[in-house]
A and B are shown apart, each in its own frame.
Chain A
Amino acid sequence: MEQALLLEHVSKRFSGHTAVDDLSLSVPAGTIYGILGPNGAGKSTTLRMVMNILIRDAGRISLLGADPERDREVLRRVGFLPEERGLYRKMNVTDVIVFFAELKGMDRRQARRDAGEWLEKMGLGEWKSAKVETLSKGMQQKVQFIATVLHRPELLILDEPQSGLDPVNQEVLRDTMLEHRRQGKTVLFSTHNMEQAEQLCEAVCIIAQGRKVLDGTLKEVRRANPGSGYVVEFAHPSAEVDRFAADGRRFGTFTPTGEGWRVELAPGADTRALLAALNQLDAPLVRFEREQPSLHEIFVRHVGDAAHPHRVAEAPHA
Chain B
Amino acid sequence: MHEVMIVLRREFLERVRSKGFWIGTLLTPLFLGALFILPAVLGAGGGREHTLVLVDEAPAGVGDAFVRTLTAPSDDEDADSYRVERAAGPLAQVRADLNRRVLAEEIEAYVVLPADVVQSSEIAYRARNISSFTVQRGISRAASQAVQQERLREAGLQVQEVASLLRPVQLQAARITEQGEDAASAESTFWLAYISGFMIYMLVFLYGINVMRSVLEEKTNRIAEVIVSSVPAGRLMVGKILGVGSVALLQVAVWVGLGALGAWKSNAIAERVGLSPEALRTVSVEPWVLAATIGFFILGFFLYATLFAAVGAAVNSDQEAQQYQTIVFLPLIASLLFMLPVINDPLGSTATTLGLIPFTAPISMSMRLAAAALPPAQVATSLALLALTVGVMAWLSGKIYRVGILSTGKKPTLRELGRWLRAA
Contacts and interface: CB of A to CB of B under 8 A. Distances in A.
Interface of A: 48, 51-54, 72, 75-76, 78, 80, 82, 84-91, 95, 99-100, 102-104, 147, 313-318
18 contacts: A53-B228, A80-B229, A85-B222, A87-B221, A87-B223, A88-B217, A88-B223, A89-B217, A90-B14, A99-B6, A100-B226, A100-B227, A102-B6, A103-B230, A314-B408, A315-B407, A316-B406, A318-B424
B396 to A, nearest CB: 15
Interface string B213-255: 0000110011111111111100000000000000000000000
B221 A76 contact: no
A103 B409 contact: no
A84 B227 CA distance: 13
B230 A104 contact: yes
Contacts of A54: 406
A181 B230 CA distance: 23
Contacts of A314: 407-409
Interface in B131-149: none
A315 B408 CA distance: 7
Given A82-B222, A87-B223, A88-B223, A318 B402 contact: yes
A103 B231 contact: yes
Contacts of B416: 315
A104 B420 CA distance: 28
A159 to B, nearest CB: 9
Given A86-B218, A86-B224, A87-B223, A75 B407 contact: no
Interface centre among A72, A86, A87 (most CB of B within 10 A): A86
Which 10 A-B pairs have CB atoms at the shortest separation, nearest pair first?
A: A86-B222, A86-B223, A317-B423, A103-B230, A84-B222, A86-B221, A51-B229, A80-B229, A82-B225, A102-B6
B399 to A, nearest CB: 9
Interface in B367-424: 402-403, 406-409, 416, 419-420, 423-424
A76 B2 CA distance: 13
Nearest to A89: B221
Interface size, B (range): 20 to 34
Given A86-B221, A87-B221, A317-B420, A103 B406 contact: no
B409 A317 contact: no
B64 interface: no
Interface string B4-15: 001100100010
Interface of B: 3, 6-7, 10, 14, 217-218, 221-232, 402-403, 406-409, 416, 419-420, 423-424
B221 A53 contact: no
A107 to B, nearest CB: 12
A48 B231 CA distance: 14
Contacts of B221: 86-89
Contact of A82 (B6, B217, B226, B423): B226
A85 B403 CA distance: 19
A224 B10 CA distance: 52
Contacts of B224: 86
Given A72-B232, A100-B230, A104-B230, A86 B406 contact: no
Contacts of B402: 318
Q: Is the interface of A mostly helix, strand, loop or mixed?
A: loop
Contacts of B423: 317-318
Contacts of A84: 222, 225
Contacts of B223: 86-88
B226 A86 contact: yes
Given A53-B229, A103-B7, 7 more contacts: A52-B229, A82-B225, A85-B222, A99-B6, A103-B230, A314-B409, A318-B402
Q: Is the interface of B mostly helix, strand, loop or mixed?
A: helix
A202 B134 CA distance: 91
A316 B222 contact: no
Contact of A317 (B3, B6, B408, B419): B419
A262 B230 CA distance: 53
A141 B239 CA distance: 26
B205 to A, nearest CB: 22
A290 B393 CA distance: 67
A100 B232 CA distance: 14
Nearest to A80: B229
Nearest to A99: B10
B417 to A, nearest CB: 11
A215 to B, nearest CB: 24
B118 to A, nearest CB: 74
Contacts of A85: 222
Contacts of A104: 230
A54 B228 CA distance: 10
Nearest to A82: B225
Given A317-B419, A317-B420, A75 B225 contact: no
A91 B409 CA distance: 26
B406 to A, nearest CB: 6
Nearest to B6: A102
Contacts of B227: 100, 103
B407 A103 contact: no
Nearest to A68: B229
B230 A76 contact: yes
Contacts of A78: 229
A49 to B, nearest CB: 11
B14 A103 contact: no
B232 to A, nearest CB: 7
A80 B6 CA distance: 19
A86 B218 CA distance: 8
Contacts of B7: 103
A81 to B, nearest CB: 8
A315 B415 CA distance: 14
A317 B222 contact: no
A313 B409 contact: yes
B387 to A, nearest CB: 28
Given A84-B222, A317-B419, A75 B6 contact: no
Contacts of A72: 232
Contacts of A313: 409
A50 to B, nearest CB: 9
B409 A53 contact: no
A87 B231 CA distance: 16
A91 B14 contact: yes
A48 to B, nearest CB: 8
A160 B424 CA distance: 28
Nearest to A144: B226
Interface centre among A87, A90, A104, A315 (most CB of B within 10 A): A315
A317 B403 contact: yes
